[in-house]
Structure 1
């Protein structure tokens, strides 16, 4: 582990506990990684405006692969964004509203846009999207957006992916199951793995110097990209094959357990 230069982790059910809390003294460990020459990155389906609030004290030292790779920020600066054409996400909105029981979210760079009739879901959405805006006519929304998300109140996203959204959109876009109630759609080729490779190219970091942690299907490409791929103990069994290592659960601070090992190895080097 002495060669590690980039560590990335998913947020929900991976770094965050089931209560949505960061491991204790996380900011201190980010400082220690920075001092050791290791970049700490968050790779999440969450947008930058939410992640910056969670890491307010450390954000300038970190990298953020946001919206499942739809945008990337390094040391406070945007280095990449992949916008979905307006007419294309308008098509997605219409499809979700007319032909499915999912609820559409247009993930703009500044806010999450939802139909006004979905106001009842705002408390759920606020956990992930710090800025939610209700729209009178979301079918004709025209904003910069890098991700389209569908929320499933019936908690059946894996089935929806297999039966509906994979067949409908998978040949034109990157479609990923983020949890049992979310599916994310990005431009084709956009995923967390590509985000890691772009950071590596920007910084001269090779895949064998990267480590990553995940728990669900939208982490698969990231885990396949890096040399040191970890699943947390509570990960979805469907991703076991994509991670070479396993650590403790999110509630046992499994990511932090390995970070401590990395820091110890750096001291011994």
Structure 2
């Protein structure tokens, strides 16, 4: 390769920059993170912007064979969140997959996000969606929604793949935006994605902790938190014998207390007891496996 050709190739390359909070600016940020990280089988209708506003597009936690996107025979578009990423910006990878699917023929499948044009970085989700639109996630008990309603029962390898996926599901229910009840083996948890700056969220949690109100009632406790795509996700241990719907009201009340704690931070800094509580909460961060 000659010097001129090498220089041209360098100009075409797009520097891959890691984006720590890829869904920032989207009202759907908490739901996208939950579906990406711990919702096993969930779908939601996307609200597209511009000329594609009328297109029917479903975003899903995971698609068959962990595909990035596919188009059904009827033209309905599906985009998967739990996929192998190709760049440091998940939002851009998803934007590439969505752009591909909007232009693809019925029946087409995209295994991984398309990065065949390095000189064209592609649009991010923030460029393609109505940024103010919420995401109404429907959580499913299994992956039967993978198949169209008019399709016969699968057989052979397809049936085995569907069964394996179903067997791996942990029972999950959505309590409110970003808040999910999960039954993980013998333990039940509330995992709540909060769209707030980490330090401020930690202060609000500490204020409740010092006041003894950082729970959802008896037999519950704050377990810790983990980071996911730039946001902190608090986790509570719950009674596994109770049904998910029994936690809807306690979770609502906890959310109201947290909102009040956020508001109070503007006027009153943490006192000594609250600072000690914050230090204790910081030490209870873990990695979700």
Fold match by TM threshold 0.5: no
- Structure with the largest fraction of strand: 1
Larger radius of gyration between Structure 1 and Structure 2: 2
TM-score (norm 2): 0.27
Q: Could you say which structure has the greater relative contact order, defined with CA pairs below 8 angstroms and 6 or more residues apart?
A: 1
